[in-house]
Chains A and B, each alone.
Chain A
């Protein structure tokens, strides 16, 4: 009897042990996985990515987050290749320029129905710019945002006897001349018209067109309209600064974002058109640089470009509900706050950017002001192929700066090319 009892107890103990061992395994088997394709890992560091993953998994223990990091250079092309190979990650981080293109290629899915199920304040607190739809559908949620504003070197301004940043085009032209001294290799700005990547248009040209009173595209006619007299005047004004006043570091046609940031960090260039991401970059390049940030100078109007990094659900996502859970968590108040604090980025939610901790970040307040001014736009979200259209504009502005074409001819030719792309995408 005793032996029988002992054997029963042993069997029970063995069963209990087996259950204890198999329970976590079963839980793991039931755990869903979300693969997040992005380029931020290298920029924000492994430590923060680990913290973000832990925070998400703590809130959602049934989902395992796997960040899949690839360098930003070539990310767009790799995503297209992965789509062809049917290997897209579940959630794909994209730039504003890629949304329409990827949507038309069937790489990403609309999320309108999912947003509709969330409380109203979830989407209402995402800046208005990021409510722009492509062909009537919302495809993305931002994780960080920011408008281009004016970085100005306070030491260089003081040396030139200037008390503050320029507020108008006239002041900008006058200050630029005062801040330029080629003998000392000091310049007012770095004109950036490099052909690759064609995102340079974000900084110099598009904001200028808007400030001059021009509009990039007319949604009613689906045509490019930047070749208006206002647009032509804006480009002529730019050419005058570059060619006549020579206020830029030489090599305008080959200067890109890297050169612009390095030149400003060196202290020899007084101003730079840059987004909030530039704050972290300057800190890395030259932590001792004395500078401040102001809204861009006004022409006939105000105007700037808004950019951002956006999460999308890929059409090849294994578990789209799990993918959405991660997307809405990261673009929700908790995720955005953690992202902005951890990366030093500009929060892509108004309920986060209005919090006290963010208001204490003085350098960022110019971006808040800039975003609130008229014409803080992200036209890229309505461009069927922003990468190609930006390239067309870059080439034509290069032609105008070289004197191969007049500003009018260059803008007319760019508009004709844009219209072909817009018509093809209709």
Chain B
């Protein structure tokens, strides 16, 4: 009995000794900065001085129209990015899952995944060039007769189109991730289900609605949650393409935090914004983790 306990204890110690390096890195790189940001959010700090202000930064946030504007623009940016990622990704995955020539399917899949391979800043710069007043997009619209050749749309310079343009770039860059994941999900659906439905006379739409979608539910939930997290905290596309402008028309939380911290040197206030962002992301992550764990069980 004692021997068994000793052995078990030794195994636990051995397991812990394997774990501690990773735990240490986790604490140093994640937990400590997180705690420090929360601490800083209760201070008025410009790095030279720190004054305890309690919930002062949070009260200021609640009354700051620019913060709420950035918050809602982040929600809109995230909602449309994720929705369009799903719609385009699913559409293309369904097309690639049809009875196509395998060589064509491989080439098409390879080409369609290119945007996902680009760094967000590179993709952003490409789109900045395309969306210039005399860029490719306006040229295309003019040649198709949608706009007059001398009329130019300043996609990034007009507050009405700036956020939409950044969203479009973000959709273009990340739809391949959805496409690849959903294609893998589609290929895992048993063919017998469709054969049985066909025998029962189900239309293509009913097959999609009653077989495809329910079978893909797990994949869709996972990628939607992950993409929501990634998009909600996205910084690069907005910073590179518009810098949050014009006149804050495309400001999102990530850029607002950066500008409040590094331009206004209001590190306490920026930390409070980051904590709000963290809370939102934590809720989405908790749903994701819960889902993953229930799947494993």
Flag whether A84 is at the interface (Cβ < 8 A): yes
Rounded to whole angstroms, the CA-CA distance of A195 and B24 in the bound complex is: 41
- A57 surroundings in chain B (CB, below 8 A): none
Per-position binary interface string of chain B over residues 236-257, scored 1 when its CB falls under 8 Å from any chain A CB and 0 otherwise: 0001001111111000000000
Rounded to whole angstroms, the CA-CA distance of A151 and B35 in the bound complex is: 53
B264 partner, pick from A385, A394, A399, beta carbons under 8 A: A385
B259 partner, pick from A193, A253, A391, A402, beta carbons under 8 A: A391
Contact B248 A77 (CB under 8 A): no
Given contacts A105-B46, A388-B263, contact A250 B152 (CB under 8 A): yes
Rounded to whole angstroms, the CA-CA distance of A182 and B133 in the bound complex is: 12
B154 partner, pick from A84, A105, A254, A388, beta carbons under 8 A: A254
Flag whether A131 is at the interface (Cβ < 8 A): no
Given contacts A80-B47, A104-B48, contact A251 B157 (CB under 8 A): yes
Flag whether B179 is at the interface (Cβ < 8 A): no
Instruction: Give B17 Cβ to nearest chain A Cβ, in Å.
Output: 31
Instruction: Give A197 Cβ to nearest chain B Cβ, in Å.
Output: 8
A399 partner, pick from B48, B156, B247, B262, beta carbons under 8 A: B247
Given contacts A251-B156, A251-B157, contact A193 B246 (CB under 8 A): yes
Flag whether A289 is at the interface (Cβ < 8 A): no
Closest A residue to B243 by CB, please name it. A196
Residues 212 to 257 of chain A near chain B (Cβ within 8 Å): 249-255
Instruction: Give B125 Cβ to nearest chain A Cβ, in Å.
Output: 10
Q: How many cross-chain pairs have Cβ atoms below 8 Å apart between A and B?
A: 83
- A254 surroundings in chain B (CB, below 8 A): 154, 156-157, 162, 242, 245-246
Flag whether B12 is at the interface (Cβ < 8 A): no
Rounded to whole angstroms, the CA-CA distance of A390 and B64 in the bound complex is: 20
Rounded to whole angstroms, the CA-CA distance of A237 and B248 in the bound complex is: 24
Flag whether A183 is at the interface (Cβ < 8 A): yes
- B248 surroundings in chain A (CB, below 8 A): 395
Rounded to whole angstroms, the CA-CA distance of A183 and B132 in the bound complex is: 17
Contact A182 B150 (CB under 8 A): yes
Interface size band for B: 20 to 34
Rounded to whole angstroms, the CA-CA distance of A105 and B48 in the bound complex is: 6
Contact A398 B245 (CB under 8 A): yes
Contact A253 B245 (CB under 8 A): yes
Closest A residue to B262 by CB, please name it. A77
Flag whether A4 is at the interface (Cβ < 8 A): no
Flag whether B134 is at the interface (Cβ < 8 A): yes
Closest A residue to B264 by CB, please name it. A388
Flag whether B158 is at the interface (Cβ < 8 A): yes
Closest B residue to A76 by CB, please name it. B262
Rounded to whole angstroms, the CA-CA distance of A183 and B152 in the bound complex is: 11
Flag whether B265 is at the interface (Cβ < 8 A): yes
Contact A195 B263 (CB under 8 A): no
Flag whether B159 is at the interface (Cβ < 8 A): yes
Given contacts A398-B245, A398-B247, contact A250 B264 (CB under 8 A): no
Contact A195 B242 (CB under 8 A): yes
Contact B150 A183 (CB under 8 A): yes
- B159 surroundings in chain A (CB, below 8 A): 253, 402
Flag whether A404 is at the interface (Cβ < 8 A): yes
- A182 surroundings in chain B (CB, below 8 A): 150
Flag whether A194 is at the interface (Cβ < 8 A): yes
Given contacts A183-B150, A402-B159, contact A194 B264 (CB under 8 A): no
Closest B residue to A266 by CB, please name it. B134
7 contacts between A and B (CB under 8 A): A105-B48, A195-B243, A250-B134, A251-B157, A252-B157, A254-B245, A398-B247
- Extra pairs beyond A195-B242, A253-B157, A253-B245 (18, CB < 8 Å): A76-B262, A104-B48, A105-B47, A106-B48, A182-B150, A195-B244, A195-B245, A251-B133, A251-B157, A254-B156, A254-B162, A259-B132, A385-B265, A388-B263, A391-B263, A394-B245, A402-B247, A404-B247
Residues of B bordering A, CB below 8 Å: 46-48, 132-134, 150, 152, 154, 156-159, 162, 239, 242-248, 259, 262-265
